[in-house]
Chain A
């Protein structure tokens, strides 16, 4: 099978509000009633997906991604335009839909399989596969309510993907569950792709988009802003998210079990921080092996003798991996002006493996914060590192090694 599997043409969606719902009812029978209010969620959206292609749909919250997905899937009808979808379609907009907690997993599998349009015989065929993939052991024949939510997700996913569809539509459903399950489900999606399934994937997770998709469509304000290479689209997406929006507020109060997140006497404060690319545009995630630049803006609130800026990068369990400050580098600022803003650009090569990390910032008067601590922020910024390096490696550190075989 070749050609286009999904063709979205000039799709627009307006949610209409009427003066009274009665006038809406009358419009179904040909009466003319002008809606009081029309809000357009999507406008003139068009793109297509070829056979075997994987396309990501990215965009900010409220950009219209979910609405578009509902229209593509067919649960919602577009106000204008049309959607043509060919082949067998499986949509996972939410895992666990249609499951009855009172019934056992096996009965539920038949039931939900039926909801997807499969006959009992067709489900009989794949039942061993479902049971094997779900890996819930004897729980497979017990009521679903006895399972942990993770087990329920596994069953739901293995039922949803029991038959290989021609087009698989996945909402962020997969960002749930434990790491093991996520890996397994990603593997299955990859398998499907190799076998020729087209994928339409909505995600906020840049690493998943880069790893899975050939193309990305960026939606903003209900319109297609860009359609192209995932990396380029993600760059624009990152630029669209203003730093304020991406990180709505810096942690300002003590939170969580980690103890005090922010401390200090307040003579100077960090007012903004984030990673930027070479053009100064904000980026969301770093890439292993690539250069990175952390931009920190500091405001001086009161008169001090000396201002030292320091930072540290910690891994997800809180271990400091690297930290230094402007005292060590002999760049301490003597007698900073009150009200002045200083910008610190910390450049380094990302030698970190893929994962989640955090930045700690310190504004102090000397080599360590016991001298005078103006401000100390733990978890000032949490960021992701994505690994796109060509050669696989293990461990937390990227120290590209070559192996010579003699």
Chain B
């Protein structure tokens, strides 16, 4: 396993330049460039805010603002967008790079690392936009923002592990590529991003607690929207789960890589 990571380190120049290239490719030929990273999630936020604001605002006691629901949405989307992008792009990662995997010798671990870097850069842009939006909506920044890097780390580790597992399996069983988008959609509604858990009946909330993303998104809500410290115990638990999944993903990746090029 150290060999894998050492390989990634030797190719750090390539990894960095690939992340840069990925970002540049998004930005270079479109007029709005980097704004497109922000526009898609922001549009969704705007739609939900307009449609559901009247129903939801009343139920947000923690935030003292007429834009309470929008503030709540923004923090949830900052979390979910990163998770969905990493998980989704991870699923097709190896198939999309099939030709390179067949024809070039390089540490294959570089591919998920590049994906992680590229998604983190995108997420950084989105989070910056969310923070600007908070200022515009009159919602100040609080010291709890400092927990954000921890939240991002847990979120990214979880999504990267799931994405890599799905990506490896998808090479062999293409059904995985069909299932993951469905799972993501289901997951989105099983996570309180556009609604508050308080609108759910008690038994359903118990089920929600089994979803690790529930805890991650709750952490984002605490740190960004409510300005309070996230539930560190739960966050630590999810972090451990993410690390275990990540270790499993690496193991799966290593065992599969001998067969991978055969079927690509």
Contact = CB atoms under 8 A, between A and B. Distances in A.
Interface of A: 15-16, 21-22, 24-25, 28-29, 70, 73-77, 89, 91, 93-94, 97-98, 100, 102-103, 107, 110-111, 114-115, 117-120
Q: Which 9 A/B pairs are nearest by Cβ-Cβ distance?
A: A114-B14, A28-B255, A21-B172, A114-B13, A93-B103, A74-B105, A77-B258, A21-B173, A76-B261
Contacts of A93: 102-104
A114 B17 contact: yes
A102 B106 CA distance: 22
A76 B257 CA distance: 9
A20 to B, nearest CB: 9
Given A75-B261, A117-B11, A94 B103 contact: yes
B101 A75 contact: yes
Interface stretch (B18-26, B47-55, B85-93): B18-26
A117 B10 CA distance: 7
A401 B13 CA distance: 58
B262 interface: yes
A91 B24 contact: no
Given A97-B99, A102-B28, 9 more contacts: A21-B172, A22-B173, A28-B255, A75-B102, A76-B261, A102-B25, A115-B106, A117-B14, A120-B13
Contact of A114 (B11, B99, B256, B262): B11
A115 B104 contact: yes
B252 to A, nearest CB: 7
B245 to A, nearest CB: 16
A244 B101 CA distance: 36
B13 A119 contact: yes
Interface in B70-108: 99-106
Contacts of A98: 100, 104
Contact of A29 (B104, B169, B255): B255
B259 interface: yes
Given A75-B103, A117-B106, A102 B24 contact: yes
23 contacts: A21-B173, A25-B256, A28-B252, A70-B102, A75-B102, A75-B105, A76-B261, A77-B258, A91-B104, A93-B102, A93-B104, A94-B99, A94-B103, A97-B99, A97-B100, A97-B103, A100-B21, A102-B28, A103-B21, A107-B21, A114-B11, A117-B11, A117-B106
Contacts of B10: 117
B31 interface: no
Contacts of A97: 99-100, 103-104
A263 B28 CA distance: 57
A390 to B, nearest CB: 39
Contacts of A74: 105
Interface string B239-264: 00000000000001001101101100
A115 B14 contact: yes
Contacts of B28: 102
Nearest to A67: B262
B18 to A, nearest CB: 7
A110 B17 contact: yes
Contacts of B258: 77
B105 A25 contact: no
Given A22-B173, A120-B13, A75 B21 contact: no
Nearest to B257: A77
Contacts of B104: 75, 91, 93, 97-98, 115
Nearest to A112: B14
Contacts of B24: 102-103
A91 B105 contact: yes
A117 B107 CA distance: 10
Given A75-B103, A115-B106, A24 B172 contact: yes
Contacts of A103: 21, 24-25
A70 B264 CA distance: 13
A22 B176 CA distance: 12
A107 B18 CA distance: 11
A93 B18 CA distance: 21
B264 to A, nearest CB: 10
Contact of B262 (A25, A76, A107, A115): A76
